[in-house]
Amino acid sequence: MKIELASSYGFCFGVKRAIRIAEQNPNSKTYGPLIHNKDEINRLKNGYGVTYVDNMDEIEPNESVVVRTHGIPKDELSILRDQKNNIIDATCPYVTKPQKIVEEMSAEGYDIVIFGDKNHPEIKGVMSYATQGSNVYTVLDQSELEKEKLSGKVALVSQTTRKPEEFLKLADFLILCVKEVRVFNTICNATFENQDATQELAKRCDVMIVIGGKNSSNTKQLYLISKRFCSDSYLVENQDEVDLKWFENKQMCGIAAGASTPDWIVEEIIKKVKTIC
């Protein structure tokens, strides 16, 4: 059986940057997991003493706090400043971009439409940058907007990991029903590249392994794309979840990985799959 890696996979710029920041600040805390990969989080904890907390109450005044790649809500950032915490900002620059756009456009009187999952930490942070009293709509498709009474001015942004074709559908809908629409493409280029590479590879394989955190939005997107073109596609977090029975009578195995997946996990899985070759 042949094994082939997607031409673009794994750590994106923002994640590489965040990991480097965490390694340079040993024994610090992160507010929420730094990235969506529990194995890499454990590596940082065991090797660098970097831990994470889920509640603001667990952060003591004057402590060093690493802000996660997905960012945090504006009011929580203010609390850390008021507590005199040493804030080490690892927020991905591609995430701070929609935060600034939402802040500026809402201040200019635009309704804000965010294409994304309102429960995702990135989107919670982006939403918080809208000025008080602004209309903010966070949706996953146009049907959620059809019942809303939008004003004459709308600014549209996207979660960094959403599908561009779905973002375009939402933009087309708004252009037809609102007099003025400002469209800001805030989808990360690394997301495009990983998705395109996964699609191209899945078309040529009879089994696909997509590696990444089960709670990672971009990894879920890669899995859905892979499944569309290769029915025997599997989403795993590490080598322990790989079942060698998946590869029986297969000729070509493709491997893709989400933006929060480190190379060492990819290498472990390749090594395990090779045991049946």
**pTM of this structure:** 0.81
Per-residue pLDDT at 276 exceeds 80: no
The model's confidence at residue 117, banded by pLDDT at 50, 70 and 90, is very high
Domains with residue ranges and CATH for the chain: 2-9+189-274 (3.40.1010.20), 13-91 (3.40.50.11270), 94-183 (3.40.1010.20)
pLDDT digits (tens, 9 = 90+) for 6-42: 999 988 889 999 999 999 999 999 998 998 899 999 9
Give the catalytic positions in this structure.
122
Lowest pLDDT segment from 24-28, 106-110, 161-165, 200-204: 161-165
pLDDT tier at 277 (50, 70, 90 boundaries)? low
Average pLDDT along the chain = 94
Instruction: Reply yes or no on whether the pLDDT at 43 is more than 90.
Output: yes
Q: Are 266 and 9 in contact (CB under 8 A)?
A: yes
Averaged pLDDT, 151-157: 95
- Is there a contact between 33 and 42 (Cβ–Cβ < 8 Å)? no
